[in-house]
A and B are shown apart, each in its own frame.
Chain A
């Protein structure tokens, strides 16, 4: 909690929620993304269609689910389909506007690691794995990534590439045959990074209220590119904070699922 009366995580959730337009069809990962997507639904985007990879389409949870398959999601969904169907008929077919992901590591081109820290065969930390992320980032029109900005998470080189953001940079996605635009924003507890339109390298375009560009640089494991005119984001409003805190959180941890 800062002296402003909100935490960095709350700022991150609010900043991410603001990027979801009303009516968007959104494929949601559990943890931070689910919290932000449900905040958007509770505030400016009541008509967001939330899809969870358990096959629940149009879920309207009254409290935040602990897992991607809580009964609450099925009970409030417009439709519940099988897992093969959600990935083939809905995601791969290009029906989803926004993919909303977390990760353990990210590199300067928005590629993600959620598989392993260290060597794959002799890992220092074995993480849960990619789950739905590779195809979410390949097929959704836009992909939003949420993770806390630290030098351990924002790395020069990923230990494992679970999910492609912009590959090696300009032209990579086209070469790989992806239909979606890839990572269009990385929302952190310090600000927002967006890919440079030419090179596709992540560039700091916004810092949250009370955060400096230097802090963002120091929290990045590569030499961070900074936009010429970095915007300063608006602090959470009372309405946003109240709505966020009303979302009951069974667990504050991000499983990265």
Chain B
């Protein structure tokens, strides 16, 4: 059964230095607040896992929390490069970052295998590409048809972290809209943390909604606004302006460090983070 606990406690107890951690979200419902808490607690040597590492992974990498990244597309969606990710890969700053690089289809298959507790996933993919050498895939022959297929080792993170719209008092969770690979990430992981916008008396089924029963989750934390600058369908929109601004903030090491200090290290939680962003905007205006 999921315990409903403060985010600080969940991160403290469930995520350790050296863990393999997947903070999932496909543009929507990205668990930014949980990522910030990892940074505040100074977690180190993490292997970060995600199909689409974007701004929160750029922040974790730039703050030196990660030694390895398992991914399939690392960019600022619609904007361009992740400058902290590039700095780590191109110049080893603040520390070198080992890469395990997939395609989306391959990594999705690896998560699905992890969720199913199978040793590997299988797909028609990677053939003829240079990626095949970077993912540790193996070629297998279908025992029924003889077709040659790619197999990918199952992903089994130590901790899966996702953000959702709602939980009930028992810690059952519902998310809807673009649900990405969050269900697989939670089911594939040994431990899991779900941050939610709110606790409701009863979960009302939503079209396309994904329900995660309380007993597959380790901790549920109430963190309204915890996806910002990503969005929570039905709650708030994607802060596209922020993603555009991040391109500027993250380009320069010092400006990045100052931004992280002011808005993450010197804030206690997501509420103070939001207030500090609003204060900055007010000063600028």
A binding-site residues for B, Cβ under 8 Å: 30-31, 53-56, 65-71, 73-74, 79-84, 87-88, 91-92, 115, 120, 123-135, 138-139, 160-164, 167, 172, 176-179, 250-251, 253, 255-257
B129 in contact with A84 (CB, 8 Å): no
Contact of A55 among B72, B127, B129, B180 (CB under 8 A): B180
**B181 partner residues in chain A, CB cutoff 8 A:** 82-84
A172 in contact with B128 (CB, 8 Å): yes
**B86 partner residues in chain A, CB cutoff 8 A:** 125-126
A71 in contact with B109 (CB, 8 Å): no
Given A31-B78, A88-B108, A123-B89, A55 and B123 touching (CB < 8 A)? no
**B128 partner residues in chain A, CB cutoff 8 A:** 161, 164, 167, 172, 176
Minimal Cβ-Cβ distance residue in A for B184: A84
Given A82-B180, A84-B184, A138-B124, A71 and B73 touching (CB < 8 A)? no
B90 interfacial contact with A, CB 8 Å: yes
B233 in contact with A115 (CB, 8 Å): no
Complex CA distance for A159 and B94, rounded to whole angstroms: 26
B208 in contact with A80 (CB, 8 Å): yes
A135 in contact with B103 (CB, 8 Å): yes
Complex CA distance for A59 and B85, rounded to whole angstroms: 31
B101 interfacial contact with A, CB 8 Å: yes
Tell me, rounded to whole Å, the shortest Cβ–Cβ distance linking A76 to chain B: 12
Interface string of B53-90 (1 = CB under 8 A from A): 00000000000000000011111111111100110011
Q: Is the interface of A mostly helix, strand, loop or mixed?
A: loop
* 8 extra interface residue pairs, beta carbon distance < 8 Å, beyond A68-B27, A83-B51, A163-B129: A30-B78, A67-B27, A69-B178, A130-B129, A139-B124, A164-B128, A176-B127, A251-B244
Complex CA distance for A71 and B104, rounded to whole angstroms: 20
B49 interfacial contact with A, CB 8 Å: no
Binds A, one of B158-166, B235-243, B257-265: B235-243
Tell me, rounded to whole Å, the shortest Cβ–Cβ distance linking B136 to chain A: 15
26 contacts between A and B (CB under 8 A): A54-B27, A54-B178, A55-B179, A55-B180, A66-B77, A70-B238, A70-B240, A71-B231, A80-B208, A82-B183, A83-B108, A84-B108, A84-B184, A88-B112, A91-B105, A126-B85, A128-B73, A129-B74, A130-B101, A130-B104, A133-B103, A134-B125, A161-B128, A178-B124, A255-B76, A257-B77
A255 in contact with B127 (CB, 8 Å): no
Task: Classify chain B's interface size.
Answer: 35 or more
B148 interfacial contact with A, CB 8 Å: yes
Tell me, rounded to whole Å, the shortest Cβ–Cβ distance linking A103 to chain B: 13
Tell me, rounded to whole Å, the shortest Cβ–Cβ distance linking A104 to chain B: 11
Interface string of B171-192 (1 = CB under 8 A from A): 0000001111101100000000
A135 in contact with B238 (CB, 8 Å): no
Contact of B72 among A73, A88, A130 (CB under 8 A): A130
B125 in contact with A138 (CB, 8 Å): yes
Given A71-B233, A135-B103, A80 and B179 touching (CB < 8 A)? yes
A69 in contact with B90 (CB, 8 Å): no
**A84 partner residues in chain B, CB cutoff 8 A:** 108-109, 111-112, 181, 184
B130 interfacial contact with A, CB 8 Å: yes
Residue of A91, A161, A255 with most chain B CB atoms under a 10 A cut-off: A255
Minimal Cβ-Cβ distance residue in A for B71: A129
**B73 partner residues in chain A, CB cutoff 8 A:** 128-132, 257
Minimal Cβ-Cβ distance residue in A for B97: A126
A253 in contact with B131 (CB, 8 Å): no
Complex CA distance for A28 and B96, rounded to whole angstroms: 34
Complex CA distance for A107 and B85, rounded to whole angstroms: 27
